[in-house]
Structure 1
Amino acid sequence: MRVLAAMSGGVDSAVAAARAVAEGHDVTGVHLALSAKPGTLRTGSRGCCTIEDSHDARRAADVLGIPFYIWDLAERFTEDVVDDFVAEYSAGRTPNPCMRCNEKIKFAALLDKAIALGFDAVCTGHYARLSIVDGVPELRRSADADKDQSYVLATLTEEQLRHSMFPLGGSTKPAVREEAAARGLSVAEKPDSHDICFIPDGDTRGFLRSKIGERPGKLVDDATGAVLGEHAGVHGFTIGQRHGLGIDTPAPDGRPRYVLALEPVSGTVRVGSAERLEVTSITGSRATWPSGRPLAEPTECVVQVRAHGGLAPAVAEVAGDSLEIRLREPLRGVAPGQTAVLYSPSPSGDVVLGAATITATARTP
């Protein structure tokens, strides 16, 4: 097959490309330039898509002996990922930019262009397992539970998955680093990137303030309606947040307060006890199905609402344009804007059934 290997400049994508070459595919490497003003150097393990990363990707391609190109997708990335991130926070929602990047950039813009150029598949360094079962794609958790990225790939469509390759799905990170060293790849010990790539200093609140400005509002006790303080904008908070609330007086029972709800129109941030964070049902929209087959009936599953954690057994069913999820166990810190990913129930519990963007939550009184 003709394979386009997305090479970020990190160890995972380099080894994924190497494995594609070793399997006999006709591989071409491509690095995505996603920043209009890339820095010349990373800051430790923070950030990605810098000039340094593009150089690392090119050196890896040279070692593998494959053609290498840089594609400028900075404008598309800004519109589909960065601007979306800001708009979602401004509306009181909590997006996952990595999920949006996979959906809109790596497996929409990149894959569409690859197919148009005659490539059969796009290869990435994601930790997830992908196979064809009874003629349809099956996306599963990776063998390395700590590195599993099936959650951020769950919004991909059946057609996108048919043209995708994830060579690292059966490997652990230490094994990947060892392989990189054995292959003579200089990125073998390069630190993993973390946090949000377009906020390399990790100051999300400061980034949003620079984009949105200040929109003062009230901090309100959800149980009593009492005004506890003021804030500079709902975009500075997320559901489940405990620290940095700016409340001087302790709760009457002395226990911590948490952000329970964000109301961007009125500028109200509602806070209360941890127990009031618990939700028992989730409503989602824009559902996607890796197999191309929506749920036909209420289905037992495991729902995950964050990239790392936030799991609970549940029953999910399609209701019109919505996905309704009834939790068997309450979850805390579930926020509109996050993605609910459905997995098959135990004992396997690792097959992605579908995903949807959370639009509302509720709790049993």
Structure 2
Amino acid sequence: MNRVVVGLSGGVDSSVAAATLHHQGYEVVGLTLWLMKGKGQCCSEGMVDAAFICEQLGIPHHIVDSRDIFQTNIIDYLVSGYEAGITPLPCSQCNKAVKFGPMLVYARETLGIDKIATGHYAQIRYDEASNRYQLLRAVDLTKDQSYFLYDLTQDLLAGSLFPLGELKKTETRHLATQYNLKTADKPESQDLCLVEAHGSMQQFLDKYITPNKGDIVDLDGKILGQHNGVHNYTIGQRKGIGIAAKEPLYVIALDSVRNRVIVGDRTKGTQPECTVGRVNWVSISPPTTPIQASVQVRYRSSAVPVTVIPLEDNRMKLIFDEPQFSITPGQAAVLYNGDILLGGGIIEQFK
């Protein structure tokens, strides 16, 4: 019998993933990572719901204390990034360093199982021609989470299953009802687990970063107002700047060294190119010459045409066909060819 460890957060998606594999004849073991205390998916409430689902399905349930690794790889990572004036993307970091990697190690070394599964909306297939596992967008493009999975290695893809990748969200809800799962009507998580736990990202950051008042300036350095901490702003932000002007103002840049927030009109916030570091090539081997692709620079942004120029040290330069607004250091730039995720990395600071 095929055996698989399913990561259970206590939400409907991971519950249906476990139930689906169970009904397909897999020997399923539930695994919940204890990441932090407080409200939200990854906490005590989620662990209780995950345990209930395992009881419903008649499968074992393991809980692993991952609070230290979450603190180091996510909380410390976020705080140091915001202090440096960037807007870090925690989810892709969490998926590789906190979830998929440790889960697969636990499955293999503790349980003797070589496959894990999650409730992510994405697809994996093996391509014989390239001898590589490929990561693809989900069938339900409105729920596609491949963007957050760009940093997964070939070993992690080989050991992972995404049972929901070919389902629409409505079908997932229907299956949850069909399986009579406790989580069938559970509201969907709308924010980062840290945001849910603390109320807002600002409230979370206020626990770790001391407010440091500084100037809000235009591109010429003229002081327009005051801010209460660079970490409370992100490039492309329009709301909450608190300055009256004839034209809408946007955050154009963050200067953590001088403790300044730089604002301007929308036209000043576009970039013709950017550099990307910590690149992970997923569905293709690392290219040695320029390639054409589409790039997504935010989870909710559309993929746009780009020329990709490989650089040394796992870096690349992206030249957009048309200048793009709100290119934000710390966020991920993820490359696609149609539905196939080619690779991705972290947008670097502009010089």
Q: Same fold (TM over 0.5)?
A: yes
Verify the 8 A CA contact 2:283 2:340 in the aligned structure 1. Answer: no
Verify the 8 A CA contact 1:311 1:331 in the aligned structure 2. Answer: no
Distance 1:243-1:115 versus aligned 2 partners, 3 A rule: same
After TM superposition, give the deviation of residue 310 of structure 1 in Å.
Answer: 4.5
Counterpart amino acid of residue 303 in structure 1 = V
1:131 to 115, 125, 128: 125
CA offsets 1:287-316 (integer angstroms, 9 cap, x no match): 101236112321111100111115311011
Counterpart amino acid of residue 311 in structure 2 = A
Query: Alignment partner of 1:294: what SS?
Result: coil
Residues 1-365 of structure 1 aligned to structure 2 (within 5 Å): 1-35=2-36, 38-39=37-38, 42=39, 47-117=40-110, 118-134=112-128, 135-200=131-196, 201-222=198-219, 224-247=220-243, 249-250=244-245, 254-291=246-283, 293-321=285-313, 322-344=315-337, 349-361=338-350
Query: Alignment partner of 2:73: what SS?
Result: helix
After TM superposition, give the deviation of residue 273 of structure 1 in Å.
Answer: 0.6
CA offsets 1:13-47 (integer angstroms, 9 cap, x no match): 01111222233322110111111xx23xx4xxxx2
Q: TM-score, normalised by structure 1?
A: 0.91
CA offsets 1:145-198 (integer angstroms, 9 cap, x no match): 110000001111111111111010000111011111111111111111121212
Identity of aligned residues (%): 39
Query: Alignment partner of 2:182: what SS?
Result: coil
Counterpart amino acid of residue 179 in structure 1 = L
Aligned residue pairs: how many?
Answer: 345
After TM superposition, give the deviation of residue 317 of structure 1 in Å.
Answer: 2.2
Verify the 8 A CA contact 2:276 2:346 in the aligned structure 1. Answer: yes
Verify the 8 A CA contact 2:194 2:204 in the aligned structure 1. Answer: no
Q: TM-score, normalised by structure 2?
A: 0.95
Query: Alignment partner of 1:303: what SS?
Result: strand
C-alpha distance in 2 between matches for 1:292 and 1:165:
20
Verify the 8 A CA contact 2:284 2:342 in the aligned structure 1. Answer: no
Verify the 8 A CA contact 1:217 1:267 in the aligned structure 2. Answer: yes
Verify the 8 A CA contact 1:2 1:25 in the aligned structure 2. Answer: yes
Query: Alignment partner of 1:340: what SS?
Result: strand
After TM superposition, give the deviation of residue 202 of structure 1 in Å.
Answer: 3.6
CA offsets 1:335-365 (integer angstroms, 9 cap, x no match): 1000100000xxxx11000001110358xxx
C-alpha distance in 2 between matches for 1:79 and 1:142:
30
Counterpart amino acid of residue 358 in structure 1 = I
Query: Alignment partner of 1:198: what SS?
Result: helix
After TM superposition, give the deviation of residue 57 of structure 1 in Å.
Answer: 0.8
Verify the 8 A CA contact 2:3 2:28 in the aligned structure 1. Answer: yes
C-alpha distance in 2 between matches for 1:202 and 1:128:
28
Query: Alignment partner of 1:211: what SS?
Result: coil
Verify the 8 A CA contact 1:157 1:292 in the aligned structure 2. Answer: no
Unaligned runs of 5+ in 2: none
Query: Alignment partner of 2:42: what SS?
Result: coil
Verify the 8 A CA contact 1:279 1:361 in the aligned structure 2. Answer: no
Unaligned runs of 5+ in 1: none
After TM superposition, give the deviation of residue 246 of structure 1 in Å.
Answer: 2.8
After TM superposition, give the deviation of residue 260 of structure 1 in Å.
Answer: 0.4
C-alpha distance in 1 between matches for 2:320 and 2:309:
12
C-alpha distance in 2 between matches for 1:239 and 1:202:
22
